[in-house]
Amino acid sequence: MRTSQRKAQEVADRDQKLVHAALGMIRSDGFHNLTLAKLAQRTGYSKGTIYNHFTCREDLLVELSAESARLQLRYFQAIADLPWDGVRSGCAMALAYMEHAVFAPELFECGISARTDAVRRLASEQRLKRRDLVESQLAQVVGYAVERIVSEGAFHNDDIGVNAAVDALRAFVLGYATTHLLSHSFAWAGEEGVDGRLKATASVMRGLGWARLDVTELRRLHRTVADIVRTVADGHAQDRDAVS
């Protein structure tokens, strides 16, 4: 390997180590206690080295949100590979997004927090482009599922188009996931709340015009999705712990 290639790999490896260390700090100290100075203390790198990677805290948040999107992309790709029709694939992706808040809450929180205009104004263009690339890949996977739903004749709504229906379903699952993150005491939290969440999801999908899946089918989908998300998230956590 050439010297330039080796140095580039060292920088990439250190970048990943810093991201994983930041996640560990969020887990132990809370999201709002994450700073670049504390990251330097935790990892043993100088502040100058940290700032060579991240121009500011917002830059780090954008990279963490990109890491969150990469994890979601792995869930969605695993779902897309299953022999399901479009409705089941699309519904499973919605359930996977909800489960992401359960199994990877630190990444989910970063993903939400890094969406603000304030963060975007301060983050570097390079980090924003990296995140936007992953999110465009996510959109492609979801878009393919939606195209299948339409081609299979499984969407019927004379009042709104399919894109608006997708946005409405996204808002529903985002609302659930965010609420779960804020408090585990609300009605749909924990294992005892899963059935209520699935029934609500079925009702929302039916109201938006998606072909109906009954709760029994949704329970089956949920079990498969939860296994996928758990496996991917656990593997990510092990990778993080190995390099932190």
151 occurs within a structural domain:
yes
43 occurs within a structural domain:
no
Counting residues of the chain whose pLDDT is more than 90, the rounded percentage is 61
152 lies in which domain range? 68-243
Residue 9 token pair: 């790999």
81 occurs within a structural domain:
yes
- Comparing 47-56, 103-112, 137-146, the range with the smallest average pLDDT is 103-112
Question: How far is 10 from 232, CA to CA, in rounded Å?
Answer: 25
pLDDT at 186: 63
How many domains does the chain divide into? 1
188 occurs within a structural domain:
yes
Torsion of CA 80, 81, 85, 87, to 10 degrees: -20
180 occurs within a structural domain:
yes
- Comparing 35-44, 45-54, 145-154, 199-208, the range with the smallest average pLDDT is 199-208
Contact criterion met (CB below 8 Å) for 142 and 76: yes
* β-sheet bridge partners, residue 120: none
Count the neighbouring beta carbons within 10 Å of the beta carbon of residue 226.
17
28 occurs within a structural domain:
no
Among 102, 109, 75, 87, which Cα is nearest to 208's?
A: 87
205-235, pLDDT tens digit by residue? 999 999 888 889 999 999 999 999 999 988 8
55 occurs within a structural domain:
no
Backbone angles phi, psi at 155, to 5 degrees: -130, 125
Question: How far is 96 from 1, CA to CA, in rounded Å?
Answer: 40
168 occurs within a structural domain:
yes
pTM summary value: 0.89
**Residue written as tokens 């359960």?**
102
